[in-house]
Amino acid sequence: MQKSQHYGAKEVSAESSTKKVKQEDKRIQRIRGRTSYLLFQELYGFLKNKPDIADVLRKFYTILDSRCSFGSRRNAEYAAESLDLVLKDKAQKDELSRNETEAC
């Protein structure tokens, strides 16, 4: 058995400290294996490349759809239509704004 270290009124053995470190390592490994961790890791890499708003919205839709968040295939299709229309409307608005700016 290893020597104990004394901290105030408590005595903590080196063996106990090693066991706590191993438990923490296992906990971290479990977290890294979670679907949510992998999703956030993927999103981090995606956003690190500074995608435009349309690509972010499409990615958001894809994530929601892959998790069946829309409740049904029909609702997912409606959401895709909505997203497409929002992007089309915003593109037209942006184009009009650019034309007005250039005219001045």
Span 80-103, pLDDT tens digits: 999 999 999 999 888 877 777 776
Instruction: For residues 32-61, give the mean pLDDT.
Output: 96
Residue 11 has pLDDT above 80, yes or no: no
User: Sign of the C-alpha dihedral, residues 42, 47, 48, 49?
Assistant: positive
User: What residues does 6 pair with on adjacent strands?
Assistant: 11
Instruction: For residues 26-53, give the mean pLDDT.
Output: 96
3 in Cβ contact with 14 (< 8 Å)? yes
Q: In this structure, which amino acid lies at residue 37?
A: Y
Query: Which residue has tokens 């009009």?
Result: 96
